[in-house]
Structure 1
């Protein structure tokens, strides 16, 4: 890896590390707080607005990156996100939180594709290592943020969001100081020069490669399920396991992912194609949601958290491998927009329905019913992945990592 690419990777990894710490401090605390004072529905609405913002950002990310460069897009997006998060601590009420959440989403939806665009523009032999360190940084940040969130669970929200604001300012500085203006894209990729329109609906066209539409839709449903867990579990803890901090499940998921990400994914991707590996990740989520619904108490939550992470460990990197192998380098910016659109759409619907289903299960005296619905959806998607596995590319060799780093691919 060249010094320039190594330097860029340091900036990208530092940025995603700080972002995950910040996000996993504030959102479990805020969701649990709103679930207790308002309802699961309103907690879901606030989280949904972040994904409305991310969805909107997919329409202008490519145009913004073409004009101010990938580094500029990361800087601008992170600055907007940091400002909105800082104002969260000085606001009150669902309306104010929802408006600020929209800007949090717009900022994140502008910065995150830029980080991923950098990694996907690395050469094939460097890409697995780059993605693996990115994933490791994200998971370490998740674990650290969940631990800090537990310590700040009963602290005034102004203090919580002040800490988060400082972390995102660090993200803004680290990522923008180290990454190059336009990444490492070929000149014909359209990364510079303002040729792309500032606002574009091209993401609706999808990526014109065999099987892409099916896989993008599957990814949307995966993110629907993933955010359903992230929003639903703090509400679940507040109702059924109040003795634990709302972020406690993320301690388990973060640590489990750190331990299993490298060996489990490496083994499976060597022997199975990406479609089958994605299916296994969804099976793990099916088991976890069933456990959450059946047991509901803290021990059952702990057991379920050990299997729900199979989605992050298996589905997400397999999907990224499929895209990275099938999409030409000059179309990766468009691919990032499409991937982020489907991810944001799934998260937007999932965050809202997670709160609605939680309220319905509670009001109809059907505890756990919301998790059973999620389990059925995950099981259906697992069968779809198995039926689609012949359309995914054959698994290739995983490039050996150096310096003890992982070989997996990213979130």
Structure 2
């Protein structure tokens, strides 16, 4: 080939076409599909009841506001605070018996709550409901992470794609659950509780039939040495603190955001639409975002970028607060915060879950997965109290939101170094 002057031009080599992307779900083994569908069902059953519990306790049962808060706090403590215990039980006894036990307790707890009228009875029911999750959630989450590593090692693609599907399924359940519960409330709260119990009965039956009694590669560990070694694992504890900072920021959907929405519109009616926006973003965009991050970012950079996006969300509201916009215009900063927080969540959560198998000891993945949630929950508990006090102070309107933006920014420095190298050279802790 020559140009207009007769000179020979070098031949262009055709670019090799990119291999077609595999559909992740299509290539998943049956066990991973079961775990992902389980996460969807868990959240449908749970969120069919939880969003309506406070109103039921306050109106139908007549509890004082402080008692309603105490009951909800006890549920959170019995769940999040005991995740490490549930994870230890998974390592010792295996996934199947712990999941089945948790489902039985959740069915009993929802049934009990539907008929509970006395305060002591309600407290007993919510403690049972919380402890049930402390059993089955670490079991399902740790096995999903372990299977995602196996899937990656077999050459199917990054483990984060599997964990992104897991997160999207959970968010879809959190979106569908309140819709189901709202329909059932047309009958009464007891019907919603019994329907939630019915969902967990289906999960129980499915796992009793489909969950293997022995999962290849999963070793049952005995002894107590794991806790001591874990507490000396600085990189894992740094991950817990960084993840806890994210969860504290995410918890502002229930603390700072309602305050902002009420300031802008005079009521909290628009809050449900903002929650729906967050859920739909995760359901629709989680997989594309994870695929993009897997192509361009490592695990640590994905978490760092996610934390920066969360900080940017708080900053948007802080910048807009002095203008004191109201009405639809006043909702725009809140919507910006929700969108940026959700984008950060989509980058951060799969990456954090993907890092845990690389930081855990052999056979201790359940303990580490549960401890990640327990430590993060303690950070949220302490941080939420401080945030509530900050919002009550007579400060310039932007200051609380700037202080909240500083939390994820500081957490970027806590992220464990060398995470991406560890991701590329898995130590075998989850084989």
Q: Same fold (TM over 0.5)?
A: yes
* Aligned-partner Cα distance in 2 for 1:80–1:238: 38
Question: What is residue 53 of structure 2 aligned with on the other side?
Answer: 30
In the TM superposition, residue 108 of structure 1 has moved relative to its aligned partner by 0.4
Residue 338 (structure 1) aligned to one of 349, 361, 371: 371
Contact 2:43 2:174 in 1 (8 A): yes
Question: What is residue 406 of structure 2 aligned with on the other side?
Answer: 379
In the TM superposition, residue 328 of structure 1 has moved relative to its aligned partner by 5.2
Residue 118 (structure 1) aligned to one of 143, 148, 169: 143
In the superposition, the TM-score normalised over structure 2's length comes to 0.73
Contact 1:59 1:203 in 2 (8 A): no
In the TM superposition, residue 261 of structure 1 has moved relative to its aligned partner by 1.2
* Aligned-partner Cα distance in 2 for 1:99–1:245: 33
Q: Is 2:157 aligned against 1:134?
A: no
Number of residue pairs matched by the alignment: 381
* Aligned-partner Cα distance in 1 for 2:326–2:127: 32
Residue 85 (structure 2) aligned to one of 55, 59, 73: 59
Q: Is 2:339 aligned against 1:306?
A: yes
Question: What is residue 131 of structure 2 aligned with on the other side?
Answer: 106
In the TM superposition, residue 113 of structure 1 has moved relative to its aligned partner by 1.0
Q: Is 2:203 aligned against 1:177?
A: no
Cα shift readout 1:33-85 (whole Å, capped 9, x = no counterpart): 66898787655433322232132352354246523x31010010122123212
Question: What is residue 220 of structure 1 aligned with on the other side?
Answer: 244
Question: What is residue 33 of structure 2 aligned with on the other side?
Answer: 10
Equivalence map 1:12-411=2 (5 Å): 12-31=35-54, 42-54=67-79, 55-59=81-85, 61-63=87-89, 66-67=92-93, 69-92=94-117, 96-122=121-147, 123=150, 124-125=152-153, 127-151=159-183, 156-186=188-218, 189-190=219-220, 195-196=222-223, 202-203=226-227, 205-206=229-230, 209=233, 211-230=235-254, 242=267, 244=269, 247-289=272-314, 294=321, 299-300=331-332, 301-327=334-360, 329-349=362-382, 353=385, 357=388, 361=391, 373=400, 376-386=403-413, 388=415, 390-394=417-421
Contact 2:87 2:369 in 1 (8 A): no
In the TM superposition, residue 290 of structure 1 has moved relative to its aligned partner by 5.3
Cα shift readout 1:173-227 (whole Å, capped 9, x = no counterpart): 22343222243334xx325xxx34xxx6954653655622211121223223323
Q: CA RMSD in A?
A: 4.0
* Structure 1: unaligned runs, 5 residues or longer: 398-411
* Structure 2: unaligned runs, 5 residues or longer: 1-23, 425-431
Contact 1:281 1:314 in 2 (8 A): yes
In the TM superposition, residue 258 of structure 1 has moved relative to its aligned partner by 1.7
Change in CA separation of 1:269 and 1:130 when aligned onto 2, cut-off 3 Å: closer
Contact 1:28 1:231 in 2 (8 A): no
* Aligned-partner Cα distance in 2 for 1:258–1:38: 36
* Aligned-partner Cα distance in 1 for 2:57–2:210: 38
Larger Rg computed on CA atoms = 2
Change in CA separation of 1:210 and 1:46 when aligned onto 2, cut-off 3 Å: same
Contact 2:41 2:199 in 1 (8 A): yes
* Aligned-partner Cα distance in 1 for 2:382–2:58: 18
| SS of structure 2 residue aligned to 1:121 | helix
* Aligned-partner Cα distance in 2 for 1:335–1:16: 19
Q: Which moved more, 1:27-36 or 1:247-256?
A: 27-36
* Aligned-partner Cα distance in 1 for 2:66–2:405: 22
In the superposition, the TM-score normalised over structure 1's length comes to 0.76
Change in CA separation of 1:226 and 1:39 when aligned onto 2, cut-off 3 Å: farther
In the TM superposition, residue 256 of structure 1 has moved relative to its aligned partner by 0.6
Of structures 1 and 2, the one with the larger relative CO (CA 8 A, separation 6+) is 1
